[in-house]
Amino acid sequence: MNSINSRIKILFLIIFLGHQPFSKGQNNKIDSLKKILSAKKDTAFVNCLYLIAKEFGAVSQDSLMLYSNKIIQKSKDINYNKGYAKGLILQAGFYRRKGEVDTATVIYNRIIEISRQYNLPQELGEAEMFIGFILQNQGEYDQSLLHLISAEKEFEKVGNKLLLARNFWMMGNTYLKLKSYDESRKSFAKGKDYFGELNDSLGYFDCVLNISITHIEVKEFDKALELILQSESYYRKVKHTAALAASLVNKSEVLISMGNTLEAEPALKEALEIKKQLGAPIGIATCLLNLGGLYQKKKDYASSEKAYLEAMSFARKDNSLEIILKSYNGLYLLFKEKGDASQALDYHEKYLALNDSMYSSEKNEIIEEMKAKFETEKKDKELIKKDAEITVKRNQQYLLFGGLGLVIVFAGFMYNRFKVTNRQKEIIEKQKLLVEEKQKEILDSIHYAKRIQRSLLPNENFLNKSINRLKSESKKDV
């Protein structure tokens, strides 16, 4: 009972603290959680540590690592497998954000092993999702989709809409990289719907921003810019710098495509500064890639080449093949414009080789097979669900009809008893009438006999007179 009460207290605290502002409110959250922590034991203690670690994730990565180590150690001590997996997820996220994706991947694979062993679907899904995210950045789109599809299955088991929303967001990005724009838009739309249902405005506008990218790719720049400006306005309002940087990058791409380099350049430079402050290698590489394209349009070839080469340098830290591929293509076009055929040919060959490895027909076939298999499994699940619903409905109908049958039988029985009772009542009434008639006849006979008797017997006056006369005669004789 004490354990349940402590968890309820934590839940109420989270709900209350969740409505506090960031910065100073963030410290208040952490301080409050630390106070609760001192009173907790066993699994509640681990869960409270986890909440503190998550709060530190936004303000101090070192503190996040410190608390995740505490979570792992305490979970081992009390044999709390779920807590152990959660601690590992925090650690893997720490290394992933630092760009140490190999270390992160090793940890995520360990989480998958533990989650399968101890039946932890949510933790398994999170590990699958983030491996899919890492593989997506590395250009392994077929493997990325495989992990993201697995994650979707696990999240559906536990009905976690927030994680489903994030997973659809990542899946949309993978389809986007595969140039499957319709599939990409569908995935982002699903994520947007889930975020909207959860009143998660940040997630909602992240999906809106990514939908804008699908419009950029098919050169629907007006639609794209409209969505980007919506997202940018929201990110500035809530002061979410990381998301703001992403919207600025997309905004600059659209403006460059529309020939408006004047507004595009400050947007890109603002985004680059944000990414440098966050220490995000892929984000920095993306900004530099776009700056390379911008300078190329302005015929500033030296700045363009420098930006492309720096973009590739940062992309290699995270093994982001997509950015490297685009940098090769940018450098090919750059040297082609400059008239340097040798350099242009060199980068074009590198571009073609990498492009073939990333978008081979074999990979696309595997992806299509995975999609088909997943769709088949979903349809099979739906059929099983429908069959179960039909069976339940049929059983309900059987019960209903059986109940109606019993009611009809009972009603028939009652009707029959009613008829028998009425018949008996009629017989009783008839017998009663006969008895009354017999009784009347007997009484009439008695009355008749009495009248005859009265008529035969002398009346009282006559008897008195006769007695008096006899007495008189008797006296005379004496």
Tens digits of per-residue pLDDT, 189-218?
999 999 999 999 999 999 999 999 999 999
Q: Average the pLDDT over each of 19-28, 53-62, 196-205, 345-354 and give the range with the smallest value.
A: 19-28
pLDDT of residue 368: 60
Please write the tens of the pLDDT for every residue from 420-463. 777 777 777 777 777 777 777 777 777 766 676 666 655 566 66
The answer to whether residue 395 sits within a structural domain is: yes
Residue 45 near residue 37 (C-beta atoms within 8 A): yes
CB 271 within 8 A of CB 248: yes
Going by C-alpha positions, the residue among 321, 347, 317 that lies closest to residue 332 is 347
- Whether 294 maps to a domain, the answer reads no
What residue type is 24 in one-letter code? K
Locate 434 and state its tokens: 């006969």
- Whose CA is closest to 190, among 223, 155, 222? 155
> Which candidate, 357, 282, 279, 275, places its Cα nearest to that of 319?
282
Name the DSSP class of 458: P
Q: Which two tokens stand for residue 112?
A: 């998958």
- Do the domain assignments include residue 230? no
Q: Which domain holds residue 377?
A: 366-460
d(CA 341, CA 384): 62
Choice between 404 and 128, residue whose per-residue pLDDT is larger: 128
| Domain count across the chain | 1
Q: Tell me the residue ranges of DSSP E strands in 307-390.
A: none
Distance in angstroms (rounded) separating the CA atoms of residues 251 and 147: 30
The span from the CA of 289 to the CA of 282, in Å, is 10
Residue 372 within any structural domain of the chain: yes
How many residues does the structure list for the chain? 478
Q: What is the pLDDT of residues 248-306, one digit of tens each?
A: 989 988 998 888 888 989 999 999 999 888 888 888 998 999 899 889 888 999 999 99
Q: Which residues contact 337 (CB under 8 A, 6 or more apart)?
A: 296, 301
CB 169 within 8 A of CB 202: no
CA-based nearest residue to 111, from 102, 99, 123: 123
- Which of 199, 203, 231 has its CA nearest to residue 215? 231
From the list 165, 246, 173, the residue with the least C-alpha distance to 199 is 165
Contacting residues for 475 by C-beta, under 8 A, at least 6 apart? none
**pLDDT value of residue 419:** 75
In a domain, 450, yes or no: yes
- Tell which wins on pLDDT, 98 or 474: 98
In a domain, residue 250? The reply is no
Q: Which residues contact 153 (CB under 8 A, 6 or more apart)?
A: 125
Q: CB pairs under 8 A, 24+ apart, for 271-280?
A: 271/244, 271/245, 271/246, 274/241, 274/242, 274/244, 274/245, 274/248, 275/245, 277/241, 278/241, 278/242, 278/245, 279/98, 280/97, 280/242
Amino acid identity of residue 45, one-letter, is F
The reply to whether 409 falls in a domain is: yes
Vertex 438: Cα angle to 433 and 443 (nearest 5): 125
Residue 455 falls inside a structural domain? yes
pTM: 0.57
